[in-house]
Amino acid sequence: MADPATVSPGTGTVSSGTGSDTVSPDSGARSPADRDAGTAISPEPGTHSPTRPDTRTAAATPDPAPSVRPAHPAHPAHPDTRDADADVVFGRLRAHQSAKLALTGRFAGRGAVETGAQGARVQLSDGRSMLDFGSYAVTLLGHRHPGVTAAVRRQLDVMPTSTRSLANPVTAAAAECLAAYFGGVLPKVYFGLNGSDAVEVSVKLARLASGRDRVLAVNGGFHGKTLGALALTHSPLFRAGLRGCAVDVTHIDAADPGAVAREAARGDVAAVVFEPVQGENGARPIAPEVLRRWTRDARAHGVFAVADEIQCGLRRCGERSVALAEGLAVDAVLVGKPLGGGVVPLSAVVCTPQLYAPLAADPFLHSATFGGHPLSCAALPAALTAIEERAAHGAGLATAIEAGLRTLAARHSRLVRGVTGRGLLWGVDFAVPHAAGEVVVELASAGLVVSPCLSRPTTVRLLPSLATTHAQLAEALGILDGALTLAGSAVTV
């Protein structure tokens, strides 16, 4: 599908043909006022504030009861992460969050913690760096894209928070920008902060607008962990200990083209929600002909079709929207993760007036204190502009990673069952779960961050960013080749 909206590079402006707003121009320059006032906008790497407390003091002694410590300069509430002491961090995580979180973090960083990042690389507290092919799809633009950080910084200095009584121009412009990005075919926008927000709002709207309650979701699908979104998520792993969730959901199979027509015939289905490419399920595309049949049948039965592209959309899989590019008749596209440029949290339901009708009639039917947060919305035009600027590079990377992974799969065929994916979302599927585990261990040691698939433990997910150079991709594939070789000699299949 042609991309009808044009994003003007370098200006943060997306033109819809119906007018354009210049929001947060894409420039990292500090204003003279900032310089005159000596405002600390972004400390240069390696510079140390003389007043910054030294967290290393805290590391010298064990951490017997961190929870009762006062927040004084030796134990600051907001330590400068550039010289974080890993053991202090793990101690705090154990004391105040979860011992398992501390353990998995220690394992992923081989005892070090993340302290900084730029582009495709993450710096660690022990001086090493790792290539980031993970971050659960958030850092599509890499870390700290300068256009996005400049836009957010500017908003921070002007008005980061909305009164929510007065109208906010940054939020309004972001909504126009996002609708234009999808060609104006889905003109209504609801902003949330997390993907789960967008999933829940789309389901709530579908139920209200249709007067029906049941929702169809897909086997293997992942839509979040808040109770409503969790009802749609397929794997029982994420529902352990809960006796059901609040939404009446029927899961259908991606190999069953007639499922929507059959279920919808009962007359109680409000929506069908699907990921065109299932991310958490191992980067598995659903066959376009099945999606075409489902969405056609949904429309025929008055069922809203919702494409959850929180992971696969915004060019992660090549297209602005996979569903729209396939020509599917969807009522909503859900986006999140990289929507805030990998810098701030932001998600959205982008939908038809029919689905949005309950909110158009009563905007307070669903709202949240931080919905449409100006700081997050300021990032959106800069993020979409940057994604478009890097789209051609992304297509080249996509071709290269697919070819590289297929070569590795053939070379290590005893261990690797296959590779699946699209664009910059790939899964390497192993013959047995412990092979995947062994490879993740080796990758962590050799300096490659990946995202495991919790509900499909045989698959290791690779999510390179648009900031990745071809040399970095070759480096990552070399690391993976080495890990597969080591695992191959250690693992019995």
Ligand X SMILES: Cc1ncc(COP(=O)(O)O)c(C=O)c1O
Which positions touch ligand X (CB under 6 A)?
136, 194-196, 199, 222-224, 275, 279-280, 308, 310-311, 336
Q: How would you label 119-143 residue by residue, b for 16+ Cβ within 10 Å and e otherwise?
A: bbbbbbbeeebbbbbbbebbbbbbb
Q: Minimal CA–CA distance to 344: which of 169, 120, 144?
A: 144
Q: Which is nearer to ligand X, 63 or 309 (CB)?
A: 309
The backbone region for 189, taken as left when phi is positive above 0, alpha when psi lies in -120 to 50, beta otherwise, is: beta
In three-state secondary structure terms, 488 is helix
Report, in Å, the least distance between residue 461 CB and ligand X. 10
Residue 245 CA to residue 229 CA, distance in Å, equals 9
Cα 202 from chain centroid (whole Å): 18
Nearest residue to ligand X on Cβ basis: 195
Q: Which is nearer to ligand X, 85 or 309 (CB)?
A: 309
CA dist 305 → 164, 184, 478 (Å): 31, 17, 41
Report, in Å, the least distance between residue 336 CB and ligand X. 5
Q: Which is nearer to ligand X, 79 or 105 (CB)?
A: 105
Neighbours of 238 (CB within 10 A): 17
Report, in Å, the least distance between residue 313 CB and ligand X. 9
Report, in Å, the least distance between residue 148 CB and ligand X. 18
Report, in Å, the least distance between residue 275 CB and ligand X. 5
- Helix (H) or strand (E) run with residue 221 in it: none
Q: Which is nearer to ligand X, 229 or 483 (CB)?
A: 229
Distant-in-sequence, close-in-space partners of 466: CB < 8 Å, separation ≥ 6: 140, 141, 142, 315, 386, 387, 390, 391, 393, 394, 397, 424
Question: How many residues comprise the chain?
Answer: 493
Dihedral angle computed from the Cα positions of residues 482, 486, 489 and 493, in that order, rounded to the nearest 10 degrees: -90
Report, in Å, the least distance between residue 57 CB and ligand X. 36
Q: Which is nearer to ligand X, 31 or 104 (CB)?
A: 104
Report, in Å, the least distance between residue 286 CB and ligand X. 12
Taking the chain, what is the end-to-end CA distance rounded to the nearest angstrom?
43
- Helix (H) or strand (E) run with residue 261 in it: helix 259-264
| φ and ψ of 483, to 5 deg | -65, -40
Could you please report the per-residue DSSP string of 96-144?
HT-HHHHHHHHHHTTT--EEEEEBTEEEETTS-EEEEE-GGG--TT-BS
Residue 398 CA to residue 420 CA, distance in Å, equals 12
Residue 301 CA to residue 164 CA, distance in Å, equals 38
Report, in Å, the least distance between residue 217 CB and ligand X. 11
Report, in Å, the least distance between residue 110 CB and ligand X. 25
Q: Which is nearer to ligand X, 108 or 193 (CB)?
A: 193
Report, in Å, the least distance between residue 350 CB and ligand X. 14
Strand 269-274 to 304-308 pairing: parallel
Q: Which is nearer to ligand X, 290 or 483 (CB)?
A: 290
